[in-house]
Amino acid sequence: VTSSKPALISPPQDCEIHLTKAVLVDPSMTDETVFVKCSDGDNKSFAICLLNAKKVTSAQAPLSLISSEPLQITLSSSKPLPKGSSVHLTGMVLSNKSPPADSDDVVEDLDHLLYGGSDDDEDEGDEGDYDSAEEEEGGAFLEEINSDEEEEEEETAQTAKEAKKAEKESKKRKAEEAVDKKDRKEKKKKQAQQEEVKDQTEGPAKKDKKDKKDKKDKKTPEVHKLASGLTYQDIVIGSGPPVRQGRQLSMRYQGMLENGKVFDGNTPRGRPFNFTLGAGEVIQGWDQGIVGMRVGGRRTLLIPPELGYGRGGSPPQIPPNASLIFSVEILKMK
């Protein structure tokens, strides 16, 4: 049945038509709903099924239509159906006689009835206007639909299997990560406890060792004594070449008595004291005690009275026969 060619089904005398199935053949796979309608002898029209070629389950429908009257089958849709689209009806012809004399007279091919054939036709193999090419094309199309549906089901099953496998691997990986994280946390905690115990047991010994090392690093500067009786200690060595007699020096200094009383000096912000070493511009203790120092160096001088201000001293600041203590620093040398 096509939209342009309705089918008239006329049952033989004393027979009934029994339609059992309708199949829509639409090679273009359009999403169009087709109404299959039937009209009886009283010109009453009613729909017997709805078909749609988009899905295999909607492209065919079972029928249970029995009639002893001629039936006209027509198709209708909201849009014209594509070329090559048709509905194939299958069924059988049942005889009202009991028992039938010959089954060949009772059951006839429904396609023969659809196109107006009769028992007296001489050529029973002639299909009239039935388009066998359309039938072959429709059958191939249905096979293609079934094949596509099977492939889709296989792909869906494979996708579900892969998703299940991926989910299982993800859970396994998360479980392993959780175990690793727990192990790292416990290991870190254990190390902290071990270090705490170690500090408690080795702490005092380690502290004593450190104190001894600090004392060693901070050892008292070596005391040097000259033949003249002058002694000195280098607090800071300084840099550059050592000074010698005849060089002009720029100095900071502070002078004290042995009782700690400061009697002279230009520290920390006073004007630097300038003199020529060895020229007799200062007491002998300076001319002897500063030799060998370097720029930036600091030295402590312990000067006996005979290298300082002698028996008379320098009243009122320096008493007679006073030993002097000078802290000196070289700022510049020319």
Q: Write out the catalytic residue numbers.
A: 253, 263-264, 283, 309, 326
Pairing state between β 273-276 and 248-257: antiparallel
**Which tokens go with 105?**
């007279």
| Range 129-150 burial, b when 16+ CB lie within 10 A, else e | eeeeebeeebeebbeebeeeee
Q: How far apart are CA 303 and CA 296, in angstroms?
A: 22
Distance CA 93, CA 108 (A): 6
Q: Give the whole-angstrom CA distance, residue 167 versus residue 33.
A: 41
Which stretches within 54-131 are classed as H helix? 103-106, 110-114
| Tokens read off for 18 | 């029994």
The token pair at 254 is 């502070």
CA separation for the pair 117, 119 (Å, rounded) = 7
Collapse the DSSP code of 101 into the 3-class scheme (helix H, G, I; strand E, B; otherwise coil) and give the result: coil
Bridge-based pairing of strands 298-303 and 231-236 is antiparallel
